[in-house]
């Protein structure tokens, strides 16, 4: 059973729980290692990212907890860097690089917030073409390593989040396969892909990101994966990890984990 979780949010931004309460819960769950990954500062989003001031407080808070609980649990201070974040990767143990917004012709669109926001982006920025939207998204995703210095690629196909709520891409999927394949080929040399159960715990999805087709492709080219909860509540640590592990093993994956900025592997 996997008992390590490397994508965890706190009440520093949009999580429900204070970091120490999460650590206490993690110890109760028998978690061996936990990695905090708060949303890094994004200049145009004061709501869903750390302020400059809180960025320092966040790092200090996790550092203190690391020391306080060192006999009970291993704690890592990571960060979830958005495509548009301007924080410095060097300040953290590791970086998850993720896309939450698209910028098209100087307009910013939130693409993992609500079905309406995503539909508005497709309508206004891409004249209603889902295919153009997907191509643009995966072109940007392929740049995540350069933009964020990511060690882990976060929720690679997050745009599937609202597929059961009116944003269905099944009609355009086939034509955009070369675009996500390109992104995977490019990123898999330097990054590990996260298999993220956050869409399930929040009721949007029944399967993790990325979908099985993409996971099979990642496996076939020798890519690596780590299972993450993306939890915004302490109760969701390790959410659905057993089921996800089964899916990954049925594809052929044998080991899960990632390499931090110092080059140390964290095997789950
Ligand atoms: Zn995210
Ligand atoms: Zn996250």
If we measure between CA atoms, which residue out of 139, 145, 132 comes closest to residue 175?
A: 132
Global pTM reads 0.97
Ligand 1 center from residue 71 Cα (angstroms):
30
The DSSP-derived string for 84-120 is T----GGGSSEEEEE--EEEETTEEEESSS-HHHHHH
Tell me the two tokens of residue 92: 């953290």
pLDDT digits (tens, 9 = 90+) for 105-162: 999 999 999 999 999 999 999 999 999 999 999 999 999 999 999 999 999 999 999 9
User: Closest Cα partner for 159 from 150, 151, 167, 171?
Assistant: 167
Q: Give the whole-angstrom CA distance, residue 261 versus residue 149.
A: 10
Domain ranges, residue 158: 4-267
| CB-CB contact of 10 with 36 (8 Å) | yes
User: Residue 64 — very low, low, confident or very high, per pLDDT cuts 50/70/90?
Assistant: very high
For residue 174, what pLDDT is reported? 80
CATH code of the domain covering residue 96? 3.20.20.140
Rounded distance between C-alpha atoms, residue 136 and residue 128, angstroms:
13
State residue 203's pLDDT score: 93
The pLDDT of residue 178: 95
What value does the mean pLDDT of the chain take? 97
CA distance 233 to 243: 20
Ligand nearest to the CA of 38: 2
Q: What stretch of H or E contains 74?
A: strand 74-82
Non-local (6+) Cβ contacts of 101 within 8 A are 42, 45, 82, 83, 84, 108, 109, 110, 111
Yes or no: say if 197 and 229 are a contact pair by the CB < 8 Å rule.
yes
β-pairing, 192-196 vs 225-228, is parallel
Q: What is the rounded end-to-end Cα distance, in angstroms, of the chain?
A: 9
Is the pLDDT reported for residue 103 higher than 80?
yes
Domains of the chain: total: 1
Distance 96 CA to ligand 2 centre (A): 8
Query: 8 CA to middle of ligand 2, Å?
Result: 7
Element (H, E) at 39: strand 33-39
Ligand nearest to the CA of 229: 2
Distance 199 CA to ligand 2 centre (A): 10
* 247 Cα–ligand 1 center, Å: 22
175-203: average pLDDT: 96
Distance of alpha carbon 56 from alpha carbon 184, whole angstroms: 33
pLDDT above 90 (res 173)? no
Tell me: the pLDDT tens digits for 147-167? 999 999 999 999 999 988 989
172 alpha carbon – ligand 1 mean position (Å): 24
Q: Which tokens hold the place of 143?
A: 């740049």
- Are 226 and 257 in contact by the 8 Å Cβ rule? The answer is yes
């Amino acid at each position: 059973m996997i008992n390590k979780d490397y994508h965890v949010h706190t009440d520093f931004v949009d999580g429900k729980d204070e970091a120490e309460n999460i650590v206490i819960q993690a110890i109760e769950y028998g978690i061996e290692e936990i990695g905090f990954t708060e949303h890094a500062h994004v200049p145009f989003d004061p709501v869903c990212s750390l302020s400059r001031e809180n960025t320092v407080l966040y790092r200090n808070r996790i550092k203190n907890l690391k020391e306080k609980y060192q006999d009970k649990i291993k704690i890592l201070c990571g960060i979830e860097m958005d495509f548009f974040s301007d924080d410095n990767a060097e300040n953290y143990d590791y970086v998850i690089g993720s896309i939450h917004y698209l910028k098209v012709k100087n307009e910013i669109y939130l693409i993992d917030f609500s079905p309406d926001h995503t539909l508005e982006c497709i309508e206004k920025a891409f004249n209603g073409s889902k295919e153009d939207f997907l191509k643009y998204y995966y072109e940007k995703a392929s740049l995540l390593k350069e933009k964020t210095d990511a060690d882990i690629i976060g929720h690679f196909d997050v745009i599937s989040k609202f597929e059961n709520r009116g944003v269905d891409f099944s009609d355009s999927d086939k034509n955009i396969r070369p675009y996500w394949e390109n992104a995977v080929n490019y990123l898999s040399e330097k990054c590990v892909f996260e298999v993220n159960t956050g869409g399930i715990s929040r009721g949007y999805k029944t399967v993790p990101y990325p979908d099985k087709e993409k996971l099979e492709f990642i496996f076939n080219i020798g890519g690596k994966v780590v299972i993450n909860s993306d939890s915004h509540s302490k109760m969701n640590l390790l959410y659905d990890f057993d089921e996800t592990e089964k899916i990954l093993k049925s594809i052929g994956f044998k080991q899960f984990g990632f390499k931090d900025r110092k080059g140390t592997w964290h095997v789950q």
